[in-house]
């Protein structure tokens, strides 16, 4: 009995670690695919980068967490001001409110898309590995690299505290996530959410549109 009591916590942590690492490996495959899809879009439409970003965001939806549930479960009970009110008022259904016949599945996808939109960053690099400026025009045959970073939500308890990054910034938003307490200062969130940046990149050449 004593041996079991000593060994059980170690075995439990090992099992949880295997599960979380397996989920991270799956997330890595998805982000790799997202980087390829974004690069492919940029190769065909080199000067319409928003299409490449949209491709990456959509590709990361399957591994995205529920932004609505994250906000509602983590909002600080004592939060006050407009930021707290805005967080409490967030509804994934707003994304599909004008879509006729939008059901639960559509709302769920919209919720995950909102998370992916905030937590996925796409960078465009030139052949020297330097980040391209927004006004840079790519020419046919020019080589470029698309780097996709998705901040994956770690859901396995105990292990997530070990693997989580300490601080990230949501691209295109002033919201800042500070870990390990998971506080979203702009939304008044305090809920112990943990994230790990999953990155992948793909290099391609701009194709001739003829």
Find the helix packing angle between 104-119 and 67-74, rounded to 10°: 80
User: Tokens standing for 147?
Assistant: 């780097």
Q: Domain-by-domain residue ranges, the chain?
A: 2-205
Looking at the predicted structure, is the pLDDT value of residue 98 above 90?
no
The tokens for 53 are: 């970003």
Q: How far apart are CA 184 and CA 47, in angstroms?
A: 34
**Could you tell me where the beta strands, DSSP code E, fall in the chain?**
120-125, 143-154, 167-169, 176-178, 183-184, 194-205
pLDDT at 205: 93
Among 166, 160, 163, which residue's Cα sits nearest to residue 183?
Answer: 166
pLDDT digits (tens, 9 = 90+) for 125-172: 998 889 998 888 888 889 999 999 998 988 898 888 888 875 555 555
pTM over 0.85: no
Model confidence band, residue 17 (pLDDT cutoffs 50, 70, 90): very high
């Amino acid at each position: 009995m004593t041996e079991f009591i000593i060994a059980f916590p170690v075995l439990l942590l090992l099992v949880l670690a295997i599960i979380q690492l397996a989920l991270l490996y799956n997330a890595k495959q998805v982000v790799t695919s997202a980087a390829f899809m974004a690069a492919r879009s940029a190769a065909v439409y080199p000067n319409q980068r928003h299409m490449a970003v949209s491709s990456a965001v959509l590709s990361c939806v399957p591994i995205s967490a529920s932004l609505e549930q994250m906000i509602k479960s983590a909002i600080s009970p004592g939060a006050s001001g407009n930021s707290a009110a805005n967080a409490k008022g967030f509804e994934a259904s707003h994304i599909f409110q004008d879509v006729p016949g939008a059901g639960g599945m559509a709302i769920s996808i919209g919720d995950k898309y909102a998370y992916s939109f905030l937590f996925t960053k796409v960078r465009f690099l030139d052949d020297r590995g330097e980040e391209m400026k927004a006004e840079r025009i790519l020419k046919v045959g020019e080589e470029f690299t698309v780097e996709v970073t998705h901040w994956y939500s770690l859901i396995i308890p105990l292990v997530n505290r070990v693997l989580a990054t300490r601080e990230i910034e949501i691209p295109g938003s002033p919201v800042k996530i500070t870990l390990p307490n998971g506080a979203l200062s702009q939304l008044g969130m305090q809920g112990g959410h943990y994230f790990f940046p999953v990155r992948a990149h793909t290099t391609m050449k701009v194709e001739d549109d003829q």
